[in-house]
Amino acid sequence: MNFDILKIAVAAGGLAGLACLIDPLASARHAEWQTTFDSVRPFKAEQASLGILAGFRGLAADVAWLRGYLAWEQHDAMKTEVSLQLATALDGRPLCFWINGARIIAYDMPAWEQAAGEHPVVSSPAEQRMIDEKYARRALAYLETATRRHPRRAVLLIERANIELGRLHDPLAAAESYRRASELPDAPFYAARLHAELLHRAGHASEALAWLKRLYPGLPKHVEAAAAPVVLARIQALEQELSVPIESRFVARGERPVRSVGL
């Protein structure tokens, strides 16, 4: 019984110690604390404090995440990002840590930087783009770590694609991420369609057509989410756009395409 109390006391102390790590790390420059995380992988908290905490590992990560949420409310980018990194270093299992963390970095932090100070500076479009790209790439690096931890979860690659498209405005990079996502067992059907649509948007209509022609035969025609008629309509629209000869066009027996050709 006394041993159990001792474990709880040590765990509480460990949690307090982990929480206290955030402030000194946040006061350092980005390169300094990033080096700290990279040079002690897995983070030393896992080797020391968490070796004692054992079953309190998830709780320790929750404490770090909560500190990050409080920093998020204050628009403190450095402290928020340190907390996100610490939470996932302590317990990288919850996908919500990775997805929400990437969104905070990619979408919230650029706005915070723009609004910083009593008299926010109105940046030029070029300056705004540089800020957006800086945080987008940090979010992608965060998601890359998540993908190494969860290599067969399509949702992480879809989140990556959304940032590549929405923040970096790079349809080819987003198309590649959607392709990778579409090949995983838990991928939604739309990932494969968006791969083709973004190829087309980037000027690669022939590649988009070839992809959809390979995709269509394997789609379950009775599953609405698979959108087989939509895919067939898109194939036909691309063939017309590319002036594919009638005799070489894709033939799908017994299927009536819908009138809309958007994916």
**pLDDT in the model for residue 13:** 45
**pLDDT in the model for residue 56:** 75
Q: State the Cα–Cα distance between residues 232 and 217, nearest whole angstrom.
A: 10
Question: Are the beta carbons of 141 and 93 closer than 8 angstroms?
Answer: no
Q: State the Cα–Cα distance between residues 263 and 251, nearest whole angstrom.
A: 19
Rounded-to-10 torsion of CA 131, 41, 55, 155: 50
Residues near 25 by Cβ (< 8 Å), separated by ≥ 6? 33, 36, 82, 86
**pLDDT in the model for residue 18:** 46
Alpha helices in the chain (DSSP H): 2-27, 30-39, 44-47, 49-53, 57-73, 77-90, 95-103, 109-115, 125-149, 154-166, 171-182, 190-201, 205-215, 228-241
Question: Are the beta carbons of 146 and 156 closer than 8 angstroms?
Answer: yes
**pLDDT in the model for residue 252:** 76
**pLDDT in the model for residue 229:** 96
**pLDDT in the model for residue 242:** 97
- Residues in the chain predicted with pLDDT less than 70, given as ranges, are 1-55, 117-123, 253-263
Q: State the Cα–Cα distance between residues 68 and 142, nearest whole angstrom.
A: 15
**pLDDT in the model for residue 263:** 61
**pLDDT in the model for residue 257:** 47
Query: Tens digits of per-residue pLDDT, 11-39?
Result: 444 444 444 444 444 444 344 444 544 44
Question: Are the beta carbons of 169 and 136 closer than 8 angstroms?
Answer: no
Whole-model pTM? 0.77
Residue 181's identity, in one-letter code, is A
**pLDDT in the model for residue 55:** 60
